[in-house]
Structure 1
Amino acid sequence: MDAELINADGAESLDGKTRLILAGEQLFAESGIQGASMREIASRAGQGNHAAVQYHFGSRDGLVRAIFDYRMEQMEEARGAMLGRAKSCGLLKDAQTILEIILLPQLDLHDADGNHSYARFLSQYLLQSRSPKFGDFSGSEPPNLTMALKLLRERVDYLPPFVAQRRLISVSLMFLNILVRHHGTDSALFGETFEQALDDTMEQIVNVMCMPLRRLRGAHEDGATARESL
């Protein structure tokens, strides 16, 4: 049964609300956040009441926030431990260390089938996000993630806020792509192991996030026009 398929983290049984969260995550990952119906999610969760999503979460957006809250809470302990180690090693200003704290805990998030459905779901969310606020994840602000994002913003304080947010989305999508692309595949298919792909991607991520800002094209063109008018 579908309800049995979404039991996660080794739990033998989950309450109805949690089953709805995990079913929503899977279906949003498969069909897009706007593509899955509330009725489908309730059915996947084994709920006889097709209005169960509305009852527990109020709306589609409420379910999206609940998915974030559920997964963010699962990652908080790991991020707290990583922050503690970074502090003890004097690495709280090191860009790679900060980005690892933000991104790597997602490696341990699997659904009941062993897939990275949260990575697919988050990709869907980021692709449609239009928020200019740095680190905006649907209102979820767990303390350890919030601290890591604060440290990252301080590390790239030379970037305008909208540029920092755009880069954060870009590097997050790069990381999520690795989780989705390499999951369950034979390493020979891509000619590299997952660990090699992850190391290379993290190096790219650090470079993309921290590279100096080049002069904006619009400003350059305005300057050229001004010179030509002299």
Structure 2
Amino acid sequence: MILVAEEMFAEGGINGVSMRKIASNAGQGNHFAVQYHFGSREGLVEAIFDYRMEQMEPVRARMLEAAERQNRLTDARTLLDIVLLPQLELPDGKGHHSYAGFLSQYLMRSRSHRFGDFGGTAHFHLNRTFDLLRARLSYLPEEVAQRRLVTGSFMFLAILSRHETFETRAAGEESFEEALDDTIEQVVSCVCAPLRLDSDFGK
């Protein structure tokens, strides 16, 4: 039911799909199966988020171990890779990246100004990465760092959601890997840029 809901939310919007339709598409005879298992729409949304975060924890653990061996735990690109790249390994049952569409909508609903706070259950390796990244961005106020992290995530999710379009690219056009690398470099620049103070405007 979680994967079916993820795909339907990605296509129809988190508030645009009925719980009854999700239950039906998931093969549930009980039209109130979502409410029975998850309590509410919000409960289902958080369950999808937590399910995917838990799937990515082993990948992030390995990436953190490698970064520590290479003495790169203060490198912004390395840390952002650990946050973002595990999402490449989350295709849905049809081989698509519907999670990208779901997470984009999920982030739009986030209202927290605390760095790395997107709701859901705490996940150790993701939270450790956020702690290391927050230390790297210590020159930024927390709400600015959080806003930039969300903005950078949207940039990454935009290229991930277009993954399939690169399969039919013309000869000489950039590959998905090239586009992805360039996009993450943009994310690094976006997240790590110095803060322009009010006194700097107009100069």
Amino acid at match of 1:200: D
Matched, 1:119 2:100: yes
* Alignment correspondent of 1:9: none
Of 6, 10, 15, the residue aligned with 1:34 is 15
Question: Shift of the alpha carbon at 1:220?
Answer: 5.9
* Alignment correspondent of 2:161: 180
Q: Which whole-Å CA distance do the structure 1 matches of 2:151 and 2:173 have between them?
A: 25
Q: Which whole-Å CA distance do the structure 2 matches of 1:189 and 1:174 have between them?
A: 25
What secondary structure is seen at the aligned counterpart in 2 of 1:177? helix
Which of structures 1 and 2 has the bigger CA Rg?
Answer: 1
* Alignment correspondent of 1:75: 56
Q: Deviations over 1:38-89 (max 9, x none)?
A: 0111011100101000001101111011101111111000000000000011
Please tell me whether the aligned partners of residues 68 and 137 of structure 1 are also in contact (alpha carbons under 8 angstroms): no
Matched, 1:134 2:115: yes
Question: Shift of the alpha carbon at 1:189?
Answer: 8.7
Amino acid at match of 1:105: P
* Alignment correspondent of 2:29: 48
Amino acid at match of 2:54: E
What secondary structure is seen at the aligned counterpart in 2 of 1:188? coil
Of 173, 180, 197, the residue aligned with 1:191 is 173
* Alignment correspondent of 2:132: 151
Question: Shift of the alpha carbon at 1:126?
Answer: 1.2
Matched, 1:93 2:68: no
Please tell me whether the aligned partners of residues 187 and 194 of structure 1 are also in contact (alpha carbons under 8 angstroms): no
Matched, 1:57 2:38: yes
Of 143, 156, 164, the residue aligned with 1:162 is 143
Q: 1:190 to 1:126 in 2, by over 3 A?
A: farther
Q: Which whole-Å CA distance do the structure 1 matches of 2:63 and 2:27 have between them?
A: 37
Q: Which whole-Å CA distance do the structure 1 matches of 2:116 and 2:164 have between them?
A: 26
What secondary structure is seen at the aligned counterpart in 2 of 1:191? coil
Runs of 4+ in 1 over 4 A off after TM superposition: none
How well do the aligned residues superpose, as a CA RMSD in angstroms? 1.7
Count of residue correspondences: 201
What secondary structure is seen at the aligned counterpart in 1 of 2:170? helix
Percent of pairs with identical residues:
59
Q: Structure 2 unaligned runs (5+)?
A: none
What secondary structure is seen at the aligned counterpart in 1 of 2:122? coil
Q: Which whole-Å CA distance do the structure 2 matches of 1:71 and 1:24 have between them?
A: 13
Please tell me whether the aligned partners of residues 112 and 118 of structure 2 are also in contact (alpha carbons under 8 angstroms): no
Matched, 1:202 2:181: no
What secondary structure is seen at the aligned counterpart in 2 of 1:183? helix
Amino acid at match of 2:186: Q
Q: Which whole-Å CA distance do the structure 2 matches of 1:190 and 1:169 have between them?
A: 32
Q: Deviations over 1:166-204 (max 9, x none)?
A: 100000000001111232541229921101101110111
Please tell me whether the aligned partners of residues 26 and 117 of structure 1 are also in contact (alpha carbons under 8 angstroms): yes
